[in-house]
Amino acid sequence: MFSSSNYLGLAEDPRVVAAAVAATEEFGAGSGGSRLTTGTSDLHLRAESAVARFTGYADAVLFATGYQANVSTLQALAAACRGPGLTIVSDAKNHASIIDGCRLAKASGAEVRVVEHRDIAAIDRALAERTTEHALMVTDGLFSMDGVCAPLPELIDACQRHGAWSMLDDAHAIGTIGATGRGLPEHFGVRPDIQLITASKALGAEGAAVATSAPVAELLRQQARSFVFSTSPAPGTCAAITAAVEILECDPGPVQRLHANIARWHVRRGTEVHDPAGAGPIVPVHVGDEAAAVEAAAQLSERGFIVPAIRWPTVPRGEAILRVTHMATHAPAQIDALCEELERLGL
């Protein structure tokens, strides 16, 4: 399986599974209400506290999905800034949840500027030319198709020059980027105002959390619509998130094994990576022709390798890829075997 976002294998980790089972047996299968009614338990608060502690922020707000977290955060910030106005500057290759969040923010009075992928000069211009009092730059951390990281230090510098807030969707970088898996802020040594993490990828569970300052967290708890109007995550989910975070805090093994596997891949493929902790687990193998990509994926499947072909509209026409994702649980021999199959296919 070279297509999973379960990067650290924590979805099957006995410690995470046991925590989810114990919580379900004690508290039941569902939470029974929204967070502002009856849906907040000690398990929800513990999960939020664990994420805040792990990321180094004052607070964190738990959402049922990363999609909800992005959409509701952007909309809530736009609504809160309706009077003085808010301009949102968004990378052209941001995740669909950010795109939809920007659309809802625009409906709530925000101006939205979409800039070219990782274009610092364009972001700087957009922030400088804004007519609103407030501005927010939002970007993916580790982009899920091309596998590159956002230039976070330069982005935050631009935000600071123009008095703008910064928001990072670190969904694919939490648990994978940084020496201890704390994402792009750890790797680059800088901190955005908002760091969104998902529990449904490297943490092996479900849901997401927005780590931020106490005032922004309180705003989200009162005005983020998917937080206010959705049934809260199940007890087992909350316990699994807390357990996964605690594993990363005390056991460096999963992150180290992932980084070792990433390094092995690049050595076998002849690509240079100075720091596997900053390389990321997503590697596109460029094919180009859509039919050729589909055929290559089918041949890999026949030989026991699950590697999806990614085509238009996910990527531009004529730029189809095989999307390889690495996991801490891959054996070195499995990585070597995939590299050999790709070489056989001329890729």
Please list the residues that pair with 182 across neighbouring strands: 174
Residue 92 has φ and ψ, to the nearest 5°, of -65, -25
pLDDT computed for residue 276 by the predictor? 85
User: Is there a contact between 24 and 235 (Cβ–Cβ < 8 Å)?
Assistant: yes
Give pLDDT tens digits for 72-114: 999 999 999 998 999 999 999 999 999 999 999 999 999 999 9
pTM for the whole thing?
0.95
Write the CATH number of the domain with boundaries 253-345.
3.90.1150.10
Sequence ranges of the domains in the chain: 13-250, 253-345
Give pLDDT tens digits for 116-141: 999 999 999 999 999 999 999 999 99
Local structure of residue 234 (DSSP, 8 states): P
Give pLDDT tens digits for 140-173: 999 999 899 999 999 999 999 999 999 999 999 9
DSSP strand pairing (208-212 vs 59-63): antiparallel
Question: Rounded mean pLDDT of 233-249?
Answer: 98
Question: Catalytic amino acids?
Answer: 144, 172, 201
pLDDT computed for residue 272 by the predictor? 80
Local structure of residue 316 (DSSP, 8 states): -
Contacts of 246 (CB under 8 A, 6+ apart): 50
Determine which helix (DSSP H) or strand (DSSP E) holds 146, and give its type and residue range: none
Question: Using CA atoms, how far apart are residues 267 and 183, in angstroms rounded to an integer?
Answer: 23
Please list the residues that pair with 209 across neighbouring strands: 62, 197
pLDDT computed for residue 314 by the predictor? 85
Give pLDDT tens digits for 186-234: 999 999 999 999 999 999 999 999 999 999 999 999 999 999 999 999 9
Give pLDDT tens digits for 298-321: 999 999 999 999 999 888 899 999
Which structure tokens are listed for 106?
């625009």
What per-residue string of b and e applies to 24-42 under the rule 16 or more CB within 10 Å gives b? beebeeebeebbeeebbbe
pLDDT computed for residue 143 by the predictor? 96
Q: Is 13-250 CATH 3.40.50.300?
A: no
Residue 87 has φ and ψ, to the nearest 5°, of -105, 125
pLDDT computed for residue 267 by the predictor? 94
pLDDT computed for residue 274 by the predictor? 81
pLDDT computed for residue 315 by the predictor? 87
Which structure tokens are listed for 6?
């379960």
